[in-house]
Structure formats: structure tokens, C-alpha cells
Structure 1
Amino acid sequence: MGGSNRERVRRRRVFYIPGYDPFHPRRYRELYRKEAASQAALSGYEIALKPKQAGSGAYGWHVSASIDGHAADADVEVLVWSDIVRGSMSHGIAQTYWQLLRTAWAYIGSGAIFRLMRLRKGPTIAAFYPIAVLLLQLALAVLAGWGLALGLGWALAALGLPPALGWAGGAALVWAVLWRFRRADGRIYAYYLMHDFAFTAQSGGATPPPLGARMAEFRDRIAEALLQDWDEVLVVGHSSGAHLAVSALADLIRAGRVPERGPALGFLSLGHVVPMASFLPRAQTLRGDLAYLSARSELTWVDVTAPGDGCAFALCDPVAVSGVAPEDKRWPLVISAAFTQTLSPERWKALRWRFFRLHFQYLCAFDRPGDYDYFRITAGPMTLAARYRGRAPSKSRIERPASRFRDVA
């Protein structure tokens, strides 16, 4: 535990940092409401959501729970950056293909992609997926346009008209086909993933400029809660939100903004993709934050992934694989959500090939829950430290340093 000796929680403040997601945070409220009710029915406890209390942040909700005979309340706040995500996704077709070239060079030119492949193939395939799909779409569009141009050229020549006019028609068809693919991306996710990886790669692993001011707001919100009368302040970072949380918490502790006798401070990272950023050459600040946070006694850091999640670096210790683990490293405690064990065979069969849905399973109900239960952690009567005290890390965790770049800021 951090600065508090409390283990029982009656009042908790939860800060959720989402990954690269353009949707309004009400999506997370509705997901929490639906899945909490399902988990409560499966596990035999009570949980209910109410509108957020006054002063509890820009967007959030209140949770009341009775678990294992103990009542607890939690105020959940989403630290929003979806507007920044939407702005980064506003690029047109031509700009997206330019992003493709720059992002591919960022990972291939630095050698990062080859080192990432040695860790987990799933997220590496996810990185190649938008490149392959966008190039395939371009090839199909060009092929269709070329065919139309030739056909029109012959027809125009037979009519005594300039055959070069056919190429104008072909070019228009190329753009029309690419536009149609863009419109269908809600089912394909090629543009979405391309913008996601481009956002991380645009600064070579450094915090993208639009996020700088927002990160300062995140730190201030967490610091304010640490001065209030909560039993626990819990920060949850999902997907790319995990490495945003790492930097926010490292900065708070460095600045002396975590009071010694304040609430217990917990950090839960879920489905992290930290190596996608930390393996890039200009990620010195992130690597320094990882090393610093991993040795601090002010917090408890538990990292949860699952080999069934093809979008995350499952069971990869984000500090160790980045090559910056200090000698006095304490965190994170790396454990597995073990989808094949915590989901029934029927449920696993239904979800197995729904890769994006599985990436959010950490926030959902399990019909055969183990010691990871998102709702017990965020709304239950035990601190994160107490819940996992004495828990051994996963035997299958990966700790070998794999990053070429290990300098820190």
C-alpha cells in the first residue's frame, strides 16, 4: 500500500483513462452499468449506479455496492481525451495514406517492429493490419480505375474523341472506390487503427503535443482527490490509456503531490500496449516514467492482460521488456485475466474471434471469475493492495528486455 494503512474501503475515487477512443464517455458508463449488473447476478453481490455527485468531475457516475457483506461507494470519473482522438481522426483519404508511410517508417526504420514481433505476434499483426488493408484497398481502386480508363479510352477513340479523357474517368473511379472503403470503415477498422498507430508514432514515442495540456489536467484531478477524504484513489488505464496513467502518476509522485497520510493509491493497468510507444526512439520520458514508477512505495500497481487478447502485449511486464527495470523494482504485479479459464467454453467460443470486443473484456463480466473482477476492484470493500497482497505474479510473464532504445529522460 501507499501512504495509508487502511485496507477496508467505504469511499473510493476512481479515475478511468481510456485508450485511443473517439466515442463519448457515456459509452463507458453504459458498459459499466450493463456489465456490473451481469457480474453481480453471476457472483451474488449487489451493485447499482446513480448520476455523478456534485463536484465529482466533468463526466462520471456514482456506484453503490454491497459485496461480501460490506457496503462501499465509489465515484468514477472518466478522464476524457476523446475530443483529441476525434481531431486526430479527421484526416482525409490522402492524408491517411501519407500517415501510413510515416508510421510504417517510424516502426520499420527504427527497428521497433521487429523487436515487438518477438514479444507478442497479436498486437504486431494488429499494427500491420491497417497497412495491409489500406494498401489492398488502394490496389483494388487503382485496378478498377485503370480498367475503366482503358475501356473508356477505346470507346472514345472509336468515336473520334481524345482517349486521354478516359483517364479522367479512371481517376474519378479510383477516388470513388477509396471513398466507399472509407465510409465502410466502421466494420473494417483500417482507418481507425491507422490513426491510432499514427498518433503514437507521430512524435517518435514522445507525448503528442495535443496531449500535453490534457495530461496536466489529469494530474491535477488525481492530486485534488488525494487531498480529500477517500479511503482509496484508484487510477485505471486501459490500452494506450495505461501509459498515459504511468506518466501522470510518475509526475505526481515526483512533484510530491501524493500525501504520506492520504488515501491509498492504486493503479490498475489493463490490456496495455506500452511497447508500441516505449520501443520508439523518442520515448525517453515514458521509459523514465516506467522505471521511476516501478520502484515507488507510494502506490500499488497491478497489471492485468490475457493471452486471448490479441490487441495487447499479454503478460509482458511493461517496465522489464522496455529494458528500464531498476534494481529496486517493485511493480507492476503482472497477472493474467486468463480468458480461457474465466469465461465458459460457450462464452469463449462466442468471443474468440471478436478481437476488439476481447480487448474490452477486462471491463466486462466473467461467467467464471477468478481473482480478477473489475467491479470488486473498482466498487468493492478492499483496496487494490489488500486484494492482491501475497499474490504471486503470473509464471508465464515475459520480462526479457527487448527494446533497442533504453535511454531515459
Structure 2
Amino acid sequence: MSSNTEVRRRRVFYIPGYDPMPPRRYRELYRKESEGQAAISGYEIKVMPGPRHARFGWRVEARIEGRGTRTDVTVLVWSDIVKDSMDRGILATYAQLFRTAWAYVGSGTLFRLMRLRKGPVIAALYPVVILLLQLLFALLVAWGLARLLMLWHPLAGWAGLGAVPIVLAGFRRLDGRFFAYYLMHDYAHCARLDGAMPPELEARLAAFTDDVAAALTEGHDEVLVVGHSSGVHLGVTVLADLIRAGRVPSDGPALSFLSLGQVVPMVSFLPRAWRLRADLAYLGTRPELFWLDVSAPGDGCAFALCDPISVSGVAPTGKRWPLVISAAFTQTLSRARWRALRWRFFRLHFQYLCAFDQPHDYDYFRITAGPQTLGRRFAGRQPSQSRIERPVSRYTDVAP
């Protein structure tokens, strides 16, 4: 890995979380928010279409801290896999609910997770409660309709049961407000194989690892992998596979990993997450990269300031990564901005990718488009004093 800390050319690989939306959403988010941050922080940044031959992405030209840079961003597209996993009928979703609840409760994982942060556990319980309340409401409507129909004929009451699927279908059409089905499918996807990597995602990550390996030979000054939410544990596996296979050239660009709003324990605490736990333990000691983990206690959907390796119980001797720091929303957002976002939980979960009106040392656009490598920018930075490192997971084995 190169010791050069100045960046003129950078390649960024962005791994989104569980999201059925097309990747252009992230390009537009980057374009809009980078303009806002540039206006606040006094630098220049421009987003343009990426190279035609490349996978989906965009190019960024910037002048930050008095120096010009060019960055090519590529998105790992797995929204099609997410859509397929969400393509379930109402009955199948309720069956999924009970299987997922059993995976977390029956294994004792849910109670372990509660020892870390209550926010993401409440987020995990939310779709279960909402879907059960919707079912209860549908049954009450059916019961009331049956009573009315029985006034006309004693046997007509059975027709009231037809209201159940109609009411549930109505709730599903309104899920853009409730997010119950969306979250249910998200947690079910994690728990479907008790933490093991789904085969369809395995193949996608292998192709993505090849792309990162190729970028390390193309003359860039830094190759930066960014994982957000459930994209973090995918990034861990990509980088572990890359380094384990000896595909990081010693004279190549700086290799960096930025993990944002991670939910690693939702997977690593499950019984069959052997591969993820092994990848975490392996990556934690590697000198080939610099790993910065950023979260914030104000983000109720993330395991904020929880060291993903340590809490998973697989911290190796000589552990050096990740460097865990806080985005400190209550300090980096003005009071007015914080009040506007405080109860918008999903929006706050994406704040790491957005502009801050009172930025401190974490600035997503300086990191992804500025003239310093991630390692240089955070050299000497101390980890958050309130980080959580105690091992909590019941399952710590790294092989079947």
C-alpha cells in the first residue's frame, strides 16, 4: 500500500444498505448534499456523469483545501436482490414475521442486542408490532361485519372474514407511511439463513471484489470503500476477501474503508454468521487498510459507537481497527436543523451522507472528494470515549 497521503485521483466504491430504490437515488443525494456542504464550508465541487464503460456511478471534480481532485464513484447495485426479497404476498410476510422473530428470540440474539443499543432493537420490533396491530384491526373489522351480517341471516356472518385480506391489502398500499413491510423484509433477509451469506449476494460480492481489485492497479492515489447501514458488513466481507487473496499490491494506492451507521450486530450475533465473524476478526488486524467507523447516538437505526468487532466477541490479539468516532448530530447540526430532523428516524440514518450546517472533522464530501487520504485526514484522531467494546454476542465461533 502506498504511503502517499495526497490525493489527485480517487476511486470510491459505495455499498448501500438494504434498499430497493435504484442507484441513481444516491447520485442525486450526493449531488444535492455536496452542493449544500460546499456552500457552507467554502469549497468547490461538481458532480458529472461517470465513464460510459463503468458500472453505475458518477464523477466528482472538486477543489477543496486549495487543491484539485477527481473522484470516480461506483455503486454496488444489489437493489434487484432487495426487490426480489421483498416480493412476498401478505400471507408470506406474516409467515416471515414469525420465522424472523423466532430466529432472534429463540437464539437469544434479541436479548443480547438489547444490551448494546435500544434504538435499533426497537426498530427491529417495530414492524412486528405494527403488522400484528394491522392484523388485529382487520380481525376486529371482520368480527364487526360478521355481527351485522348475522342480523340478516345466521350463516351470513362467515362472509365477514372476507374483510381481513381487504383491510390488510389496504394497509400494505399505505406502507410508504408505515414502513412495516419494508423493515420486516429487511430483518427477514438478515435472519433467513441465521446470519449466513445468501448465495445470490455471495455472487454479487465476488464481482464487486474484482472491481475493487482492478481499481487498485489503475493508478489512483486512494481506493475508498464506503459502506452504509447493512452495506457495512458487506464491505467487511469484500475487503477481507480482497486482502486474504493477496490482491492488494504493496506499491498500490492507499486502501481505505469508511463504515457509516453500521448494523453489524444484527447479523454477526446470529448463530450461523460464521463467515462474517471470521471476516471481522481478520480485517481488524490488517495493515493494508485504514478503517474509520462513524455513527451517532442520535441515529436510532444504528448500533452507534459499538465497535463491531469487539461487541461480536471476535476481537483478535493486536486489533487495530476500526477507529470508532461519533458524527455527534447534536453538535454538528444546528439547533433548528436538529429539531427538524430529530424524529425523522429514517432521514437521520442517512445523515452521514448529507451536509452538516455545523461540521466538525467528519465531512463526507471532504473524505470522498478532498485531497487527503482517509488515513491522513484522521491520523492521530482519538476514538470516541463513549464507544462500546465489551463482547456481548452469545455466538463467537468463526467456522461451523
Q: How much has 1:362 moved relative to structure 2?
A: 0.1
Aligned partners of 1:68 and 1:333: how far apart in 2? 24
The unaligned stretches of length 5 or more in structure 2 are none
Q: How much has 1:154 moved relative to structure 2?
A: 2.1
Q: Alignment partner of 1:118: what SS?
A: coil
Aligned residue type for 2:33: E
Q: Alignment partner of 1:133: what SS?
A: helix
- Establish whether residue 256 from structure 1 lines up as the match of residue 253 from structure 2: no
Which of the numbers 363, 383, 398 marks the counterpart of 1:373?
363
The aligned residue for residue 119 of structure 2 is: 122
The aligned residue for residue 334 of structure 1 is: 324
- Establish whether residue 26 from structure 1 lines up as the match of residue 17 from structure 2: no
Aligned partners of 1:174 and 1:408: how far apart in 2? 45
Structure 1 residue runs of 4+, over 2 Å off?
A: 163-166
- Establish whether residue 73 from structure 1 lines up as the match of residue 70 from structure 2: yes
Q: Alignment partner of 1:101: what SS?
A: helix
The aligned residue for residue 157 of structure 2 is: 166
The aligned residue for residue 15 of structure 1 is: 13
Which of the numbers 323, 335, 338 marks the counterpart of 1:345?
335
Could you state the TM-score of these two structures normalised by the residue count of structure 2?
A: 0.99
The aligned residue for residue 94 of structure 1 is: 91
Aligned partners of 2:352 and 2:127: how far apart in 1? 24
Q: Deviations over 1:355-403 (max 9, x none)?
A: 0000000000000001000000000000000001100000000000000
Aligned residue type for 2:90: I
Which of the numbers 386, 395, 399 marks the counterpart of 1:405?
395
- Establish whether residue 231 from structure 1 lines up as the match of residue 221 from structure 2: yes
Aligned-residue sequence identity (percent) comes to: 68
Q: Alignment partner of 1:119: what SS?
A: coil
TM alignment of 1:7-406, pairs within 5 A? 7-55=5-53, 57-156=54-153, 163-168=154-159, 170-406=160-396
Q: Deviations over 1:55-93 (max 9, x none)?
A: 3x2200000000010001100010100000000001010
Aligned residue type for 1:336: S
Q: Alignment partner of 1:75: what SS?
A: strand
Aligned partners of 2:50 and 2:58: how far apart in 1? 4
Aligned partners of 1:167 and 1:250: how far apart in 2? 58
Aligned partners of 1:143 and 1:209: how far apart in 2? 41
Q: Deviations over 1:284-337 (max 9, x none)?
A: 100000000000000000000000000000000000000000011000000000
How many residue pairs align between the two structures? Answer: 399
Aligned partners of 2:147 and 2:75: how far apart in 1? 55
Aligned partners of 1:215 and 1:98: how far apart in 2? 29
The unaligned stretches of length 5 or more in structure 1 are 157-162
Aligned partners of 2:207 and 2:347: how far apart in 1? 29
The aligned residue for residue 160 of structure 1 is: none
- Give me the CA root mean square deviation: 0.6
